[in-house]
Chain A
Amino acid sequence: MKLITKHFGELQILEENIITFEYGIPGFTEYTKYIVINDEDEDSPFCWLQSVEESQLAFALVNPFLIHEDYNPNISDPEIAKLGDGEEAEYSILSIVVVPEDIEKMTANLRAPILINIRTKKGMQVILDGDDYPVKYYLFDRLQKIAK
């Protein structure tokens, strides 16, 4: 199907690739259908979560394991169960990125990762218990190291 987006223009997407966020994402709970768009640059640690319902809505996501050495989020079974069948399921864990005017101050939200069950195509933003990981994790330095 055709998807018109503000940032990526017109895209051809497969309906079977649409990820359902049953409860939406905090701040945007009215939107429940998204598609993951890979960065045009193969080596990029970023990808995009584009809303299928609102053309202007897209989040930049980064692979948290690339930018944080010991990222080991403790996601409880009940949380995982919300995404459906857990048997041999494959999950994608990604962090929403915030890019302020000063790019060097960009951050990734490690406290509330986006969790996607690749098989059931269901997703959610999980808010981790405790404060092991920050809401604002500064990743600019790490990105520079990866780029080299």
Chain B
Amino acid sequence: MLALSRKKDESIMIGDHIEIKILEVNGDKVRIGIEAPRDITIHRKEIYLQIQEENKAATVNTLEGLSKLKDMMKKK
């Protein structure tokens, strides 16, 4: 991981098309502005990882589970 120090209003360029700017520094919170081409997705890491995990869980047991579900429904 590359580590750089920046002050408020300073920026970092990633390639030609992505810019990361420090907008505000408030105690332990940093407000970051990101300019990127529209085909690049940007997310807070925790939520991205959470969605990843959820997608992986979705591939386990699903067909069997839904078959059971249908059986349950039919019995009612």
Chain A interface residues toward B at CB < 8 A: 7, 22-23, 25-28, 41, 44, 46, 57-60, 78, 81-82, 96-101, 103, 106, 109, 111-112, 125, 127, 135-136, 143-144, 147-148
State whether B73 touches A103 (Cβ < 8 A). Answer: no
- The binding surface of chain B is classed by DSSP as helix
| A98 touching B58 in the complex, CB below 8 Å, given contacts A60-B66, A82-B38 | yes
Grouping DSSP codes into helix (H, G, I), strand (E, B) and loop, the A interface class, with mixed when no group exceeds half, is loop
In whole angstroms, what is the CA distance A60 to B58 when docked?
Answer: 8
Q: Size band of the B side of the interface? A: 20 to 34
User: Which residues of the other chain, A, contact B57 by a CB distance below 8 angstroms?
Assistant: 98, 100
- Is B38 within 8 A of A81, CB to CB? yes
B53: nearest residue on chain A (CB-CB)? Answer: A27
Q: A23-B41, A78-B38, A143-B73 are in contact. Are A99 and B62 (CB under 8 A)?
A: yes
User: Which chain B residues (2-42) contact chain A, with CB distance < 8 Å?
Assistant: 38-39, 41
Contacts of A46 in B (CB 8 A): 66
Binary interface encoding of chain B residues 41-76 relative to chain A, with 1 for a CB under 8 A from any of its CBs, else 0: 101000110111111111101111110111011001
Chain A's closest residue to B70 (CB) is A41
Q: Which residues of B contact A82 (CB under 8 A)?
A: 38-39
Chain B residues contacting A112 (CB-CB under 8 Å) are 51, 54
Known A58-B63, A82-B38, A103-B65; contact A136-B43, beta-carbon cutoff 8 A? no
